[in-house]
Amino acid sequence: MQTDGMFRRRQLPHWDVEGKPVFITACLAGSIPAKGMERLRQYRLELDARPCPGHLSEKQWEHNKSKLVFALVDDMLDHQSAVRHLADDRQAEIVHNAVLHFAGERYTLLAFVVMPSHHHWLFLPDEAWSRQVAARGRGTGQPRTPREIISHSVQSYTATMCNRIRGASGRYWQGETFDHWARDEAEMYRIIDYIEHNPVKAGLVEQPEHWQWSSARLRAGTGMKPGDPIVKPAE
């Protein structure tokens, strides 16, 4: 499998690799305060100043640095965020349902959780759908990747619907997501476990399946195992 992929950097790095599941974290706008963002920036500069360990390639070191920064981000989101719109079950349900909406069509959904200040999900873009997206994007400058299209669709829809519930307007989500791809099956299972145990780690529930807005809850009700594709429940 070709793993060079497409690498882009805005404020955050984004690396898309065909045929690999992608792990995305989307944060509410303002969920990481200015001091937190500066702390993250300084930590990233510190990591960039470190030499690449001899046993890693430059790409592996870049991947590891992103994971280290993300661990700090997730801790801030779980324990220090002042913006927690998704503690409102009405808004959490909108995001929950949006993630499930195209499961089995545009992507294979492998895990997700909606937390009070953010949501995590792991999915693999569908090959046939991705080819159609690539064909439509040819000749349009820099076409968006399947990940970008899928993520933007969910973020745009949920922002509109959740702001409607809040009676608010303006930005709902932070402008960029944190994302990286799962390099192999072992990492995929580690990410699934990480996502589904987030409510436990944050002290919200004692068991992953006790959190209402989670793939762990769906697994408990259907007998699906970690790694099985998650589909939208029948209405």
pLDDT at 17: 63
Cβ 188 vs Cβ 182: under 8 Å? yes
pLDDT (tens digit, 0 to 9) for every residue of the chain, 235 residues total? 334 444 344 444 545 666 789 999 999 999 987 788 788 888 888 999 999 998 888 878 887 887 788 788 888 888 888 899 999 999 999 999 999 999 999 999 999 999 999 999 999 999 888 888 777 766 666 667 888 889 999 999 999 999 999 999 999 998 888 888 888 999 999 999 999 999 999 999 999 999 999 999 999 988 889 999 998 877 6
The arrangement of secondary structure in 13-222, i.e. its CATH architecture, is: 2-Layer Sandwich (3.30)
> Quick one: which H or E segment has residue 122?
strand 118-125
DSSP 173: B
In angstroms, the CA 173 to CA 111 distance is 20
What pLDDT, on a 0 to 100 scale, did the predictor assign at position 62?
A: 81
Q: Residue 26 forms beta bridges with which residues? A: 119
Closest by Cα among 74, 37, 57 to 202: 74
User: What span, in angstroms and rounded, lies between the C-alpha atoms of 235 and 101?
Assistant: 12
Q: Give the domain ranges of the chain.
A: 13-222
Residue with tokens 């990480």: 194
Q: Phi/psi zone of residue 207: left (φ > 0), alpha (ψ -120 to 50 degrees), beta? A: beta
Give the whole-angstrom CA distance, residue 214 versus residue 115.
9
117 in Cβ contact with 81 (< 8 Å): yes
* The pLDDT of residue 22: 93
Q: pTM score, two decimals? A: 0.82
The amino acid that residue 163 corresponds to is: N
Distance CA 111, CA 195 (A): 7
Amino acid 142: pLDDT: 63
Helices (H), the chain: 34-49, 58-79, 89-101, 127-137, 146-166, 185-196, 198-201, 215-222
